Amino acid sequence: MNSYQASNKLEDQVLEVIFKVAGASPVKLHEPTFDGNEWTYIKECLDSTYVSSVGKFVDKFESDLVDFTGAKFAISVVNGTAALHIALKLSGVKDNDEVLVPALTFVATANAVTYCNAVPHFVDSEETTLGMDAEKLREYLKDTTEQKNGMCVNNLTGRVIRAMVPMHTFGHPANIEGLISVSKDFNIELIEDAAESLGSYYQGKHTGTFGQFGTLSFNGNKIITTGGGGAILTNNESLARHAKHITTVAKVPHAWEFSHDQVGYNYRMPNINAALGCAQLEQISSKIKSKRDLFKKYKSEFSKIKRIKLFEEPKQSESNYWLQSIILEKDQVGQRDLILKKTNDAGYMTRPAWNLLCDLAPYRKNPKMDLTTSKSIFLSLINIPSNFKP
């Protein structure tokens, strides 16, 4: 590593910092860690034979999520995408509606809209939060929509804009207050994609608890994992009951009879996954602490490099720092791929942000607003290793 110290090249300097903080390679972007009761609970689950759809860990995991997030209800499901699908459906999103989603998000946010036969409509993000830009959205809606029968109608397409799905990017809370105000003023439902932000707070309140629904993911790369899994959060009791029912094949409870009162989904979280989730959630505070500590370590090193800054939580928020991000200065974006190549070749997994969804084959023709900031974030941001044992 000494050979890099004198280097003027940005990619060498970044590699040097990551080496200094993360130690010898290989280091993944986000490796799960299992330091608690995982084995105990999974053994207990196997011993009980209730590995599948029923069992006490599902109930416990849901009530632990309620305790941790402060949402009134939590419904666990097979993955975060399924959680979004059901949250959208129960928010009344239907055929030929439009749903506002950030262009800068994981593809699942838009796919879940498509599963409802609705149309993702792409919105720009802001540099301060990496989330949807509330003020720019307000101006855009003022110019391009009108209210008809209490609904927001897109003048260009004639379709109803039924919902918006802000996402808390890499764990950093979006400007949820501004977005809620836009959603109220334009009669648009708000669902938070909080897949990345378990343990992140906006003005002291947990992300995913502001909108009609919030959704979580417990995929293997998230801050806690159930292998695969997700959850729907809501404060509305009847919506919570409906969400539980529709994600458990809409079976009417009965001692032996198979009666289903609507087309349901087999989206329930298996008990064995919930067992893992219970053990993981017990450790959430220490996971968040170590991520916030890692941010500080990276910060003290990256502050020595001029042409880069480490992304910091927005002012009004406390972030879980799920993925650490470096942002290149505008005149340095040409260096992004050199940095990605150098670090990955050296065994340190780094990644660019997602390709903007409006550039993906299934979404190329979708409605969108000006996306200048999303494009510039995409070109200048790199995620660096964010979960490793020192």
Residues that bind ligand PLP (CB under 6 A): 79-81, 105-106, 108-109, 167, 193, 195-196, 217, 219, 230
CA 129, chain centre distance (Å): 13
**d(Cα 125, Cα 174) in Å, to the nearest integer?**
9
User: Would you say 167 or 328 has its CB closer to ligand PLP?
Assistant: 167
Min dist. Cβ of residue 104 to ligand PLP (A): 10
Q: Which two tokens stand for residue 138?
A: 């307000």
Longest dimension (CA), the chain: 75
User: Would you say 171 or 308 has its CB closer to ligand PLP?
Assistant: 171
Peptide bond into 367 cis (omega under 30): no
Min dist. Cβ of residue 185 to ligand PLP (A): 25
Strand order across the 189-193 sheet: 73-77, 230-234, 213-217, 189-193, 161-164, 98-102, 119-123
Min dist. Cβ of residue 78 to ligand PLP (A): 8
Q: For helices 38-48 and 56-69, give the axis angle rounded to 10 degrees.
A: 140
Nearest to 327 by CA among 293, 304, 344, 352: 352
In angstroms and rounded to an integer, the radius of gyration of the C-alpha atoms of the chain is: 22
C-alpha angle 371-372-376 in degrees, rounded to nearest 5: 115
User: Would you say 207 or 217 has its CB closer to ligand PLP?
Assistant: 217
Min dist. Cβ of residue 351 to ligand PLP (A): 12
Nearest to 387 by CA among 353, 355, 344, 349: 349
User: Would you say 19 or 378 has its CB closer to ligand PLP?
Assistant: 378
Q: CB–CB of 192/165 below 8 Å?
A: yes
E strands, 165-321, where?
A: 189-193, 201-202, 205-206, 213-217, 230-234, 308-310, 317-318
Min dist. Cβ of residue 191 to ligand PLP (A): 11
Q: CB–CB of 167/131 below 8 Å?
A: yes
User: Would you say 219 or 234 has its CB closer to ligand PLP?
Assistant: 219
User: Would you say 145 or 175 has its CB closer to ligand PLP?
Assistant: 175
User: Would you say 167 or 233 has its CB closer to ligand PLP?
Assistant: 167
User: Would you say 268 or 342 has its CB closer to ligand PLP?
Assistant: 268
Min dist. Cβ of residue 285 to ligand PLP (A): 22
Min dist. Cβ of residue 49 to ligand PLP (A): 26
Min dist. Cβ of residue 363 to ligand PLP (A): 15
Residue with nearest beta carbon to ligand PLP: 80
